[in-house]
Amino acid sequence: MATNKGVVYTKPGEVEVREIGFPDLVLKDGPGVNPLNVGRKCEHGVILKVIVTNICGSDQHMVRGRTTAPSGLVLGHEITGEVIEVGRDVEFIKKGDLVSVPFNIACGRCRNCKQQDTHICENVNPDRPGSAYGYVDMGGWVGGQSEYVMVPYADFQLLKFPDKDQAMEKILDLTMLSDIFPTGYHGAVSAGVKPGSTVYVAGAGPVGLAAAHAAQILGASVVIVGDLIEERLAQARSFGCETVNLRQHDKLEEQIEQILGIPEVDCAIDAVGFEASEHGEGAGEAPATVLNSIMGATRAGGRLGIPGLYVTGDPGAEDAEAKEGTLKIRFGLGFAKAHTFVTGQTPVMKYHRDLMQAILSGKAQIAKAVNATVISLDDAPAGYKEFDGGVAKKFVIDPHGMLK
């Protein structure tokens, strides 16, 4: 029997690389697995040898202890791999295929999946619509920061790369198709970015940088990125974005006016989520800061794309309301300005094929934009700590040492 190591959340601030058992085409009991999902047969699934898998900012929320994630949860929802075993009911995906795995787990059969709303599949999570690998309250599907992983509903979900050699040459770009590139793109599309748009992106982490690059691809005339960390802002400037250091400047609209000549943008993207901070030197956590600031900085009639994560339970929040996901949002301002808000997980399958083509043609340079940085599986705990410190890198785990 082959062995399998994976990155496991142990306690707030700590992850470990452990033996986790080789995957099977059945969802077994384990940390975080919904009891109603235990024993679920997945003959429609495949086993992948993980070629690359990434550390995501969403993982960091769990590792920081800001969710109800249980100890022992195997992490990882950004997965690219080679098929080594196919279930009895898999018809089109074959052994040897190199594939990208959408982080949303979707059955392809329910009403939402048939409407391309694969982020809110009705059949994969007994608690509520929507699921993901290695994530709290998402049904318990085992994460993919590992050597091998099981992926259900393979024929429906998996994006096969047309040429394996070409894919391996561009693997640092293609690994972003499982989450952050479609997520950033979804944020830009939801915000209504079009040729000539002026765009503000809150947050210069990997999703924010992906959203900024996506806005450029969609034809934005100016993309402004705001963050508290200068190293991340330098990364945004490296591919042509304007930037605002919100630790040095607490009045966002004044900084936008210095760049554009007017104190507002056409549309805005929240790539921060619920662990937001107030602006200015020494400012503390305030989870509604980004939502309120982008309403203030976006023109009347504008759109707000909100791919940043917001949760229903935050045990690490500083006040009782925020602990249950209730935030002090200036909704009246959004109403007065007739803003459109688009929230929720990204339906990856709506975008990943087109974005793959953009990568393969050279149109998209997403690995460069997010500063993709390769580490080994054993180095993942150190990668988590470095990423948590705000480094301007997107860590790509190479479990088998296959990358050049």
Q: What's the rounded Cα separation, in Å, for the pair 164 and 302?
A: 42
What is the CB neighbour count within 10 angstroms for residue 240?
Answer: 12
332: CATH:
3.40.50.720
- Is residue 261 domain-shared with residue 352, that is, in the same domain? no
CA 213 to chain centre: 15
Q: Which residues of the chain have pLDDT under 50?
A: none
C-beta separation of 274 from 316 below 8 A:
no
- The answer to whether residue 403 is domain-embedded is no
- Is residue 311 domain-shared with residue 291, that is, in the same domain? yes
Q: What is the pLDDT of residue 269?
A: 98
358: CATH:
3.90.180.10
- Is residue 61 domain-shared with residue 162, that is, in the same domain? yes
Q: What is the pLDDT of residue 318?
A: 80
**Beta pairing partners, 395:** 373
Q: C-alpha angle with apex 209: 208 to 212, nearest 5 degrees? A: 85
- Is residue 77 domain-shared with residue 170, that is, in the same domain? yes
User: Inter-axis angle of helices 180-190 and 352-360, to 10 degrees?
Assistant: 110
Domain count across the chain:
2
Which of the listed residues 320, 342, 364 is the one where a domain comes to its end?
A: 342
Residue with tokens 């009991």: 29
- Is residue 156 domain-shared with residue 228, that is, in the same domain? no
- Is residue 137 domain-shared with residue 147, that is, in the same domain? yes
- Is residue 136 domain-shared with residue 11, that is, in the same domain? yes
Query: Containing domain of residue 270, as a range?
Result: 181-342
Q: How far apart are the first and last CA of the chain?
A: 28
Residue 26's contacts (CB-CB under 8 Å, 6 or more residues apart) are: 39, 40, 41, 42
- Is residue 197 domain-shared with residue 148, that is, in the same domain? no
The DSSP output letter for 206 is: H
Distances (CA, A) of 120 to 26, 112, 123, 124: 22, 6, 9, 9
- The answer to whether residue 13 is domain-embedded is yes
Q: C-alpha angle with apex 396: 390 to 402, nearest 5 degrees? A: 155
- Is residue 152 domain-shared with residue 62, that is, in the same domain? yes
- Is residue 151 domain-shared with residue 11, that is, in the same domain? yes
